[in-house]
Amino acid sequence: MTAAQAGDRGALDQLLRRHYDRMHAVCRRITGNEADAADAAQEAMIAVVRGLARFDGRSAFGTWVYRIATNASLDELRRRRRRPQLAGRDREEFQEPIDHDGELRIDHMADRFQLDAALADLPEDFRVPVVLRDVADLDYAEIAEVLNVPIGTVKSRIARGRAQVADAISRGNGNQVQDPDRPTPGNST
Amino acid sequence: MKPHPTPEQALASAYLDGDVTAAERARVDGSPELLALVASMRHAVSLIAAVTPPPDAGREAALAAALAEFDTRTNGNLNSTSNVISLDSHRRWPAAVLTAAAAVVLVGVVGISVLRDTSDHKSESAALATDDEATKRSDTGVADGAVAGAQPTGGADEVILQSSVATLEIDDPQDLLTLAPPAPYADTAPVADTTGIAAETATSAERLDSYNVDALACMTDTQVFLADISYRGMLAIAVRDTVTGVTEAIDSNCRVLARVNS
C-alpha cells in the first residue's frame, strides 16, 4: 500500500485487485442487484485512487475501503431512486452467472432471490451493518467506526437485521417462524 | 420494523459472533428455541456472505477505470506543475521595445499627416523594394523583378486615402523587428509556439485590426499580424511567424517584400 501511495502503478493495481471482490460483495448486498453493484464498486475503486494519498493508516485499510464501498453503494441507491427503472434490467442485461451444476442449486437460487428481497426490505440503517459484519467481516468496533455510531447500536442493528432476514427466508421456505414484532392476521389491530 | 431486537434475537446474534459470556452461551445451548433462532440466523448469515463472485469483465473494467483515474491524476499533476510558468517568460517584448514600437507608431501617424501635405509624395513613395530580402512567396509565381517593379494600385496617395488606420512607413527591413503584435495580444501571441493555440487566437483577432484584407489572406497559420505598413511605398502588412520568429512584409498579392530573422 505504501508503494501504491507513492505512485507505483503496479502496486496500486495489485492493491485494488486484492480488495475488489470483497468490495463488490459489499456493494452487491447493499444495492441488491448486480448492475448497481458493478457501478458502485467501480465508483468505489476510483474513490480509493482519489483518496489513497490522504489515507493516513489510522484505521485498517480494509475498514477504509469498505467505508468507501458502503458510501458508494448508498450513493448508487440514491441515484437509482432518482432515475426511472427499466423493467427486468438486471435479469436481462446484468444477469449473474448461473451455476449449472445441478438441481440442488435451484434451492440455493431460490434462497438467493429471497435473500435479495429480504435485504431490500431491510432499512439501510440495518442492512449496512449486517453486510459489513457478514460480508466484509468487520468487527463491531470497525463497523461503529465506519458508520460513526456507538458499538451498542451496531450490535443492536445487526441482531435486528439478521432476525428480519432470517424470518423472511424462513417464511419463504414455508418454515414459519413467528416474529414477535410482526402482526399476524389473527392478532393485528 | 422495530428498531431494537428482542433479547432473544440479540442473544442469538451475539452467540453467532462469539460475543457472549459463558453463562449466556450455556443459556443458548440449553434452549431449543434459542438454538432454533441461532440456526435460522446462521442460515441467513451464510446466504448473506455467499456473494456470487463478480464477472471478470466487470472487475477488469473497474480496475481499468481506477487506473485510468490514477493516470489522469498523475498526468494532471505533471501538467499543473508545468503550467506554473511565470508570465514574465511569456513577455516576448521587453517594455523598452514596446515603448519604441509605440514611438514608431507615433512617428508614422505624424508622417502620414506630413505626406498628405507633400506634393511630391507620389514620386517618393513609389520607390520599390529591391533589396535581397525582398522575395516572393513561392506560390505566387511572381519573379523578383516583378516585385521590384510592382506599383501599389493608384499610388501612395490613394493608398493613404484608403487607410482608416495608421500606416507605418518602413524603409529599413530591420525596422520590422521593432514591431510587436498589437495590444492586447502582445503578451500572448508569439509564445505559444508549441501549441499554436495562442497564435491562432491572436491571428484571428488581430486580422480585424487591419484593413488590408487581401494581404491578411496571405498569412500562414503560424503568423501573427503586427501592423499595417507602407514598405518603401508599397502597401503591406508586417507579420511574424510564431514558430520561426521571421518577420515579413507582405503585400496584397502575397509577395514578401522583406524578410528579417529575429
Write out pLDDT tens, residues A89-112.
444 444 555 555 555 555 667 777
Q: Is the pLDDT of residue A127 over 80?
A: yes
Do B243 and B121 fall into the same domain?
A: yes
Cell of B59: 472487475
Band (pLDDT 50/70/90 cuts) for residue B211 is low
Q: Is the pLDDT of residue A42 over 90?
A: yes
pLDDT at residue A161, as a whole number: 95
* Residue B154 touches partner A, C-beta closer than 8 Å: no
- Mean pLDDT of all residues in A63-88: 81
Greatest mean pLDDT among A10-19, A152-161, B229-238: A152-161
Q: Is the pLDDT of residue A173 over 60?
A: yes
Q: Is the pLDDT of residue A128 over 50?
A: yes
Do B118 and B227 fall into the same domain?
A: yes
What is the value of ipTM here, to two decimals? 0.79
Q: Is the pLDDT of residue A118 over 60?
A: yes
For the segment B47-56, what is each residue's pLDDT rounded down to a tens digit?
A: 999 988 888 9
Do B108 and B169 fall into the same domain?
A: yes
Q: Is the pLDDT of residue B194 over 50?
A: no
For the segment B92-123, what is each residue's pLDDT rounded down to a tens digit?
A: 555 566 677 777 777 777 777 666 655 444 44
Q: Which residues of A60-95 are buried (b: 16+ CB within 10 A; e: fewer)?
A: ebbbbbbbbbbbbbbbbbeebeeeeeeeeebeeebe
Q: What is the DSSP code (8-state) at residue A84?
A: P
Q: Is the pLDDT of residue A47 over 80?
A: yes
In a domain, B214, yes or no: yes
Domain limits at B23?
7-49
* Residue B171 touches partner A, C-beta closer than 8 Å: no
pLDDT at residue B182, as a whole number: 64
Q: What is the DSSP code (8-state) at residue A53?
A: G
pLDDT at residue B168, as a whole number: 81
Do B38 and B99 fall into the same domain?
A: no
* Dist CA B140 CA B142 (whole Å): 5
Q: Are B66 and A162 inside 8 Å of each other by CB?
A: no
Band (pLDDT 50/70/90 cuts) for residue B256 is confident
pLDDT at residue A142, as a whole number: 92
Domains in chain B: how many in total? Answer: 2
For chain B, give the mean pLDDT: 69
* Residue numbers in A near B55 (CB within 8 A): 97
In a domain, B124, yes or no: yes
In a domain, B133, yes or no: yes
Do B44 and B153 fall into the same domain?
A: no
Do B42 and B131 fall into the same domain?
A: no
Q: Are B10 and A159 inside 8 Å of each other by CB?
A: yes
Write out chain B in H/E/C secondary structure. CCCCCCHHHHHHHHHHHCCCCHHHHHHHHCCHHHHHHHHHHHHHHHHHHCCCCCCHHHHHHHHHHHHHHHHHHHHHHHHHHHHCCCHHHHCCCCHHHHHHHHHHHHHHHHHHHHHHCCCCHHHHHCCCCCCCCCCCCCCCCCCHHHHHHCCCCCHHHHHHHHCCCCCEEECCHHHHHHCCCCCCCCCCCCCCCCCCHHHHHHHHHHHHHCCCHHHHCCCCCCEEEEEEEEECCEEEEEEEECCCCCEEEEECCCCEEEEECC
| Cell 427503472 belongs to residue | A85
What share of chain B in percent tops pLDDT 70?
Answer: 58
Integer-rounded Cα radius of gyration of chain A? 19
* Dist CA B233 CA B225 (whole Å): 19
Q: Which residue among B43, B53, B66 places its CB closest to the CB of A169?
A: B43
Q: Are A160 and B9 inside 8 Å of each other by CB?
A: yes
pTM: 0.53
Q: Are B1 and A126 inside 8 Å of each other by CB?
A: yes
Q: Are A112 and B74 inside 8 Å of each other by CB?
A: no
Q: What residue type is assigned to position B174 of the chain?
A: Q
Do B44 and B101 fall into the same domain?
A: no
- Mean pLDDT of all residues in A129-154: 94
B152 vs B62 pLDDT, higher one: B62
Among chain A residues, the shortest Cα distance to B42 is held by: A166
In a domain, B33, yes or no: yes
Band (pLDDT 50/70/90 cuts) for residue B4 is confident
Greatest mean pLDDT among A147-156, A167-176, B235-244: A147-156
Q: Which residue among A9, A170, A181 places its CB closest to the CB of B2?
A: A181
Which backbone phi and psi does A125 adopt, to 5 degrees? -60, -25
For the segment B146-171, what is each residue's pLDDT rounded down to a tens digit?
A: 333 333 444 444 343 444 445 788 88
Among chain A residues, the shortest Cα distance to B70 is held by: A49
In contact, A70 and A146? CB cutoff 8 Å: yes
B1 vs B201 pLDDT, higher one: B1
* Dist CA B52 CA B40 (whole Å): 21
pLDDT at residue B144, as a whole number: 39
Cell of A54: 490522504
Q: Are B41 and A166 inside 8 Å of each other by CB?
A: yes
Domains of chain A: 1-83 (1.10.1740.10), 104-179 (1.10.10.10)
- Mean pLDDT of all residues in B209-230: 77
* Residue B65 touches partner A, C-beta closer than 8 Å: yes
Do B30 and B143 fall into the same domain?
A: no
Q: Is the pLDDT of residue A160 over 90?
A: yes
Do B203 and B127 fall into the same domain?
A: yes
Q: What is the DSSP code (8-state) at residue A33?
A: S
In a domain, B72, yes or no: no
* Residue numbers in A near B41 (CB within 8 A): 162-163, 166
